[in-house]
Amino acid sequence: MTDLISVIVTTYNREDALDLALRALARQTDRNFEILVADDGSTPATAAVVADWKNELGAAVTHVWQENRGFRAGEIRNRAIAASRGDYCIFLDGDCLARPEFVARHRALAERGWFVVGNRILLSPVLTNRVLMHELAPEAWSFARLLAERAKGGVNRLMPALNLPLGGLRRISPKSWVGARTCNLAVARADIDRVDGFDTIFNGWGLEDSDLVVRLLKAGVRRKDGRFATGVVHLWHPEADRSSLRRNQQMLDDVLRGNRVRAQSGLSLLASSERSRETAL
């Protein structure tokens, strides 16, 4: 269904992980994609990493930055969506390493009216430190190597490393939002526009991605399972501040109970505010 794919990589002050994430994207077998680094207020060190990779990636790279005013992942993703050129978006966290066939397999599953939920292998703190210190490439490790790391407690599971043709089984839970996260989520740009993107009323860590998925489902967009095809390797990180989770859960509960599909403060509001700013200037 798609030609150019927009890979939107969300990051905040984790240059070492972002460096490896961009390296993994540089090794993709499918080259017809652009990268938008959605930067939620990092210091200039992150911009330097992006600049270093621009000439190495062989793909267009755009650094989309917003001022640091707390965790605003929904808003920075909207800014990256607005700057994107593809008709299909893959959302990836900046501490997730895409396996070489990641973009190609997402392309094979891409379909308007369906979003694709991928999964991940989580590395332990010890293995994550080794990967970062020695610039290892776990996204390229063989199944045997991952199995050996699993035996030592370095990875939490192996299934995301498998590639299996599930056919119709990928549509087995078309209306489920549970477990869908933007560390590995793909959706057509037209479907994102139907729900007006992420809702920026979700400030602080948690559930802005669940809100997007619930509204997609309410708009008639269905879920396709990307397991056994689009798995990524997720570097360990400390748990985020969850002080906003209770408030965000209440807002998500309201969305689950209602019929609203469009964000209260979404892409269109962002575009409107940008036009107003340009006019004022």
pTM score: 0.94
Task: Give the gyration radius of the chain's Cα atoms.
Answer: 18
Q: What is the pLDDT of residue 273?
A: 56
Architecture of domain 5-280: Alpha-Beta Complex (3.90)
57, containing H or E segment:
none
Would you say 31 and 61 are in contact if contact means Cβ atoms under 8 Å apart?
Answer: no
Residue with the two structure tokens 């798609």: 2
* pLDDT of 271: 66
Number of CB atoms found within 10 A of residue 239's CB: 6
Q: What is the pLDDT of residue 275?
A: 43
Taking the C-alpha atoms of residue 103 and residue 139, their distance in angstroms, rounded to an integer, is 13
> How high is the pLDDT of residue 281?
37
Per-residue pLDDT tens, the chain, 281 aa: give them: 559 999 999 999 999 999 999 999 999 999 999 999 999 999 999 999 999 998 888 779 999 999 999 999 999 999 999 999 999 999 999 999 999 999 999 999 999 999 999 999 999 999 999 999 999 999 999 999 999 999 999 999 999 999 999 999 999 999 999 999 999 999 999 999 999 999 999 999 999 999 999 999 999 999 999 999 999 999 999 988 899 999 999 999 999 999 999 999 999 988 655 543 433 33
Give, in degrees to the nearest 5, the angle at Cα 219 between 96 and 194.
70
Angle, to 10 degrees, between the axis of helix 73-83 and the axis of helix 208-218?
60
Q: Report which DSSP code applies to 262.
A: S
Residues in the chain: 281
Name beta bridge partners: 81.
none
Domain coordinates of the chain in residue numbers? 5-280
pLDDT of 276 reads: 38
